[in-house]
Structure 1
Amino acid sequence: MSNADTAYAAIRGKLLHGEYMAETLLSENVLAEELQMSRTPVRDAILRLVNEGFLVSLRNRGILVRRIPIKEIYDYMQVLNLFQKHAIEAAVEQGLSFPIEELRRYLEEEKQGAANKDYYRYVVHSLRFTRCFMSVAGNEAMIKVVDSYHDRMIFVSITNYNRTPHTPHYSSIPLHEDILASLEASDYERTKHLFDDFLRKSKYRMFELGY
């Protein structure tokens, strides 16, 4: 692994684990000192993260951790809602079965994350549950879109968790429990309703909290 790749992995890891919060001002020199390497690979890593939408380079002021706008998050959630319902329709039309046991394993990992107050573990496995659910449709274009937002959704979730520690979190657990129950009962209309209801509640929550 090159120094630029090492720097990228280290900075990205701190972003996703909430060590660098949104609107934090970073310094290329300080980052180079922390990583014990020259500024050139750090600069390359920063450019990569700028292109991915995590950082903003400010002329003569440093690097700002980007605050991802509410609209960008909600726009993606609307697209995700459509993808999830398409997966249900594809499964019904083609007589496909959802991977119940794999979904259950991801749900158990979410619960373990919540029990251990490991929000990162919870979020990662919540996203894996969603990806696994959608994979039944066999639509690679949908999966690519979901994968492209993976890190941003972790970053947004961790940022919100750190900003609002006294607000109830872990909302995917009851949702995924209900989804599994509806799939086991082959009640796909209920599954669709669960996704729509979660989208509605998420919109209210996002705008209420202002993140």
Structure 2
Amino acid sequence: MGADDGGDNHGEPAHSRDLPGFAATHYRFFLKRRLALMNSPAPDERDYSQLTGLAKPSLEKLAHQQIREHMLNGYFLPGMLLSENELAERFGMSRTPIRAAISLLEKEGFVESIRGRGVFVKDISFREFHEMFEVLSSLQLYSLDIAAMRKLDFDLPTLEGYLERQLRASAEDDYRTYYESGLLFIETMLRMVKNASMLQIIEQIKGKYMFKIISYRKLHVHTLPKPQQSGHFNKRIYQALAAGDLDEARGVVLELIEQMRRQFQSFDM
């Protein structure tokens, strides 16, 4: 992510070729990724009657959802060993759906299996986190560019609701709600464009994005200040949108991109 993927534009929607370079690069990359996913069978489309030893899809989904929720809430942190027996007892099911859920989480990049040691919660690198941030920012810039070109209006009441929720969560040290509200703020901006594939991109990365920042804060709870940066910038973006100043909103997003770039220079990426 973050590098020009090259190649021609065959099969690429015309509007993506009109984007600013920063946004267009990430949009083309993730569009290709989305098309590849669309051409592969979804988990629910697998023929479970042909497979042995797998749990029913409903149980697998339930196990996957519960383990993932525990990770996003900061209960399962990077480096923790996940025991199939303990998870099965915790969630009240057999080891079969737990094993299938862990396999899916490994494919998604949340856990890793180490031969002879077991399954561990995986730490998301700061490089990957920064790349996901750049993708989200690119989509945000795209929504502003499209709004300017097509004279579209953003859903200000919904944006205000997520902003208030995010600021309130900051005061209450509710990390999950804080970062979730920030992502929903971006998602609401993008919904105005009415592009399902772009919304799917957010859906694909927001879990790992939230897990990285929430787990990092949980591990450094005594040394990090309250989360404020995202809420501060979202407040400025909302104020600009409410005033009808799309250029100002775009400038705020670009300012955040540059500030994040400088912050990530201090990490080994």
Task: Please indicate, yes or no, whether the TM-score normalized by the shorter chain is above 0.5.
Answer: yes
Task: Classify 1:145/1:207 alpha carbon distance in 2 versus 1 (closer, same or farther; 3 Å).
Answer: same
**Under a length normalisation based on structure 1, what TM-score does the superposition of the two structures give?**
0.91
Task: Classify 1:9/1:123 alpha carbon distance in 2 versus 1 (closer, same or farther; 3 Å).
Answer: same
Aligned to 2:192: 136
Aligned pair count reads 211
Task: Tell me the SS of whatever aligns to 1:208.
Answer: coil
Which whole-Å CA distance do the structure 1 matches of 2:88 and 2:247 have between them? 53
Query: Does structure 1 conserve the Cα–Cα contact (< 8 Å) formed by 2:112 and 2:122?
Result: yes
Q: 1:42 aligns with which of 55, 80, 98?
A: 98
Q: 2:224 aligns with which of 159, 167, 177?
A: 167
Query: Does structure 2 conserve the Cα–Cα contact (< 8 Å) formed by 1:84 and 1:134?
Result: yes
Task: Tell me the SS of whatever aligns to 2:266.
Answer: helix
Task: Tell me the SS of whatever aligns to 1:143.
Answer: helix
How far is the alpha carbon of 1:54 from its aligned partner? Answer: 0.5
Query: Does structure 1 conserve the Cα–Cα contact (< 8 Å) formed by 2:136 and 2:186?
Result: no
Task: Tell me the SS of whatever aligns to 1:57.
Answer: strand
Task: Tell me the SS of whatever aligns to 1:149.
Answer: helix
Which whole-Å CA distance do the structure 2 matches of 1:135 and 1:34 have between them? 38
1:118-159: CA deviation from partner (whole Å, max 9, x where unpaired) = 111111111101100121122222111111112111101211
How far is the alpha carbon of 1:194 from its aligned partner? Answer: 1.0
Instruction: Look up the equivalent residue of 2:138 and give its one-letter code.
Output: L
Aligned to 2:115: 59
For 1:174-189, what aligned pairs fall within 5 Å after superposition? Answer: 174-189=232-247
Aligned to 1:92: 148
How far is the alpha carbon of 1:112 from its aligned partner? Answer: 2.1
Aligned to 2:183: 127
- Which structure has the greater CA radius of gyration? 2
> 4+ runs of 1 displaced by more than 3 Å?
none
Which whole-Å CA distance do the structure 1 matches of 2:79 and 2:85 have between them? 18
Query: Does structure 2 conserve the Cα–Cα contact (< 8 Å) formed by 1:28 and 1:62?
Result: no
Query: Does structure 1 conserve the Cα–Cα contact (< 8 Å) formed by 2:70 and 2:76?
Result: yes
- CA RMSD of superposed structures (Å): 1.9
Task: Classify 1:48/1:170 alpha carbon distance in 2 versus 1 (closer, same or farther; 3 Å).
Answer: same
**Under a length normalisation based on structure 2, what TM-score does the superposition of the two structures give?**
0.73
Are positions 1:9 and 2:71 aligned together? no
Which whole-Å CA distance do the structure 1 matches of 2:81 and 2:268 have between them? 21
Report % sequence identity.
28
Give 5+ residue unaligned stretches, structure 2. 1-56
Aligned to 1:193: 251
How far is the alpha carbon of 1:46 from its aligned partner? Answer: 0.5
